[in-house]
Amino acid sequence: MGINIPESHPRAASLKIREALIRGVEDNVVAYAGLIAHGRGEAFDYLIGEKTIPQAQRAIEAAAASLLNAAAPVISVNGNTAVLVPRELVGLSEITGARLEVNLFYRTREREEAVRKALLDAGGRHIYGVGEAASEVIDELQSERRRVDPDGILKADVVLVPLEDGDRTKALVRCGKTVITVDLNPLSRTSRTAHITIVDNITRTLPALIEKVKELKTTPRPALKRIVESYDNKKNTGEALRAICDRLLLLAGGGTDIP
Ligand code: PTJ
């Protein structure tokens, strides 16, 4: 059941995203818990001011360089991301050569197929990790996210895992993969464990990441490597947290940056 959102509503864009996620639940793409996860994300988005902060831009540059420098990059797709940015996921996959793999925390065969369909409808060609294709497991993990595709995440050297669960981020890092995440919460275990954490909304990050990849596409590999090596995730995530604190102090003191 959808509602009519007037364009004049000051939060029309945000309300439309909520509606899309609710439709995603009805279509079996989004897990019920995906709605809760979105609410948490929205709260942090308010804190950062609903814009891509410079710290996120720095992480986006490191992520773009890392994906371009990878031998076997993979983009892990869950229900929320399949609804929020399906075309951008396909676009990023095409421009970087990264494979798209369905990997669900609340895995059911119906949801795997529904997420695959969302990606195919958005122009994706081969989608990894569905059904029998997810025939391997990542040891050390109990959740359904342990199941991976031998031609996808299992052999990947760089994995983009947006809106990820902390346990699996840790497991992927332990497996020796370079892990890139997008998470509005700089305090989450995923944010603190990944190699590159983009503290931003996935809806803003993916277009910016695609632009950055286009910009760096012809950069020689040694220079890409230097970008990745000079990036310090602990420092950058700490600075994102400080940006939130500074903003809250500004607002608490009566100042504003809200248009
Ligand atoms: O589709 P499934 O079955 O794989 O399940 C997906 C969810 C998201 C339900 C599952 O991975 C989960 O429970 O995730 P968590 O542990 O709630 O973590 C999600 C993180 O993403 C939280 O830290 C949120 O703040 C953050 N988040 C939510 N929406 C966004 C976001 N980060 C960036 N952009 C968003 N739009």
Q: Which pairing describes strands 178-182 and 127-128: parallel, antiparallel, or unpaired?
A: unpaired
Q: What pLDDT, in 10s, does the model give residues 32-89?
A: 999 999 999 999 999 999 999 999 999 999 999 999 999 999 999 999 999 999 999 9
Instruction: Tell me the longest C-alpha to C-alpha distance in the chain.
Output: 57
pLDDT tens digits for range 165-215: 888 899 999 999 999 999 999 999 999 999 999 999 999 999 999 999 999
Q: Is 104 in the pocket of ligand 1 (CB under 6 A)?
A: yes
User: Which DSSP letter does residue 120 get?
Assistant: H
SS3 of residue 48 by DSSP: helix
SS3 1: coil
Residue closest via CA to ligand 1's atom 21 equals: 163
Contact partners, residue 105, CB within 8 Å, separation at least 6: 31, 33, 78, 143, 144, 145, 165, 168
For residue 240 and ligand 1, the question of a CB distance below 6 A is answered with no
Pocket mutation for ligand 1, best pick of 25, 163, 169 (most atoms within 8 Å of C-beta):
163
User: Mean pLDDT throughout 132-141?
Assistant: 88
Instruction: Specify the ligand 1 atom closest to the Cα of 107.
Output: 3
**Of 80, 167, 205, 244, which is best to mutate to test ligand 1, by the most ligand atoms within 8 angstroms of its C-beta?**
80
Average pLDDT of the segment spanning 3-22: 85
The token pair at 153 is 């995440």
